Amino acid sequence: MTSSRSKSTCQVAVALTVALGCATANAEQPVGQQAPPGRAASSGAPVQRPAVRPTHLVIFLHGLRGSGSVMAPFGTSWQKILGATKFVSPDAPFRHRGGGREWFDVNDQVLRPDRIAGARQAFDDLVGAIVEREGFENDLDKVAFVGVSQGAIMGLDAVASGRWKVGAVVSFAGLLPLPPAASARETAVLLLHGGADQRIPATASVAAANQLKSAGFDVTLEVVPGVGHTISSEEAAKALRFLAEHFQL
């Protein structure tokens, strides 16, 4: 663990160059919670509409070559525990040339921080439209980002850059592409990573945890042995418990 903590973000990014570029649609989708076929609107298809006015908002961020429909079943299964929470699972802004959607370009198998920075405006436009539509512009502390792989990268970047001071972020198999430029003690971050992940090694989340903690974020890191580049049922349960406790639901 000591050697893992000493890795710099740059070293981790270099190690992930080929892995992120070669990720397939199946590898990026959460195997433990496969979604039924369906089509989500690009502005964010609601997973389920609570009977009362939502008190919290969870925005799911899918992985490379995925779609919003891949993450939508989590909202359906989490509704019983999180009560009057609105779940939205949008498609990423860009079309991947191999099919599905992407948050930023990795077609040449290179993870370049400048591409992630270049994708920020499209991310902000999409998320901003959802937040405004659902009426949470003045209640960002009641909003959570839940992302996997490429979606997790964008969610972590949105918070670490200081652009989105949401209440919570859950990252499955993600990484922090750029050093934190802001501190947000009010934002709770849960980093979940499979110990057997061959595409984005767990050391990426270890490095992210160290940087976010140094910047003042409230961070919880869990590396789950035997889990690959996916969302296992164990990790999904941990994420649900984290959100329920943080939002006191």
Total-model pTM: 0.81
Q: What is the mean pLDDT of residues 179-190?
A: 88
- pLDDT tens-digit profile of 140-182? 999 999 999 999 999 999 999 999 999 999 999 999 989 998 8
How much of the chain, in percent, has pLDDT values that exceed 90? 67
pLDDT at site 249? 85
| pLDDT over threshold 80, residue 66 | yes
The second-level CATH assignment, the architecture, of 2-21+44-246 is 3-Layer(aba) Sandwich (3.40)
Single-letter residue type at 43: S
Is the pLDDT assigned to residue 184 strictly greater than 80?
A: no
Residue-level pLDDT at 46:
54
Closest to 13 (Cα-Cα) out of 114, 102, 93: 114
| Continuous H helices in the chain | 2-5, 9-15, 17-22, 25-28, 68-82, 113-118, 120-134, 150-160, 203-214, 233-246
- How many Å apart are CA 156 and CA 174, to the nearest integer? 8
**pLDDT over threshold 90, residue 110:** no
Q: Among 79-93, 108-122, 153-167, where is mean pLDDT lowest?
A: 108-122
Please name the residues in contact with 102: beta carbons below 8 A apart, sequence gap of 6 or more: 64, 65, 92, 94, 95, 96, 150
Q: Quote the CA–CA distance of 194 and 136 in Å, as a whole number.
A: 32
Joined together, the tokens standing for residue 220 give 């919880």
Length of the chain in residues, anyone?
249
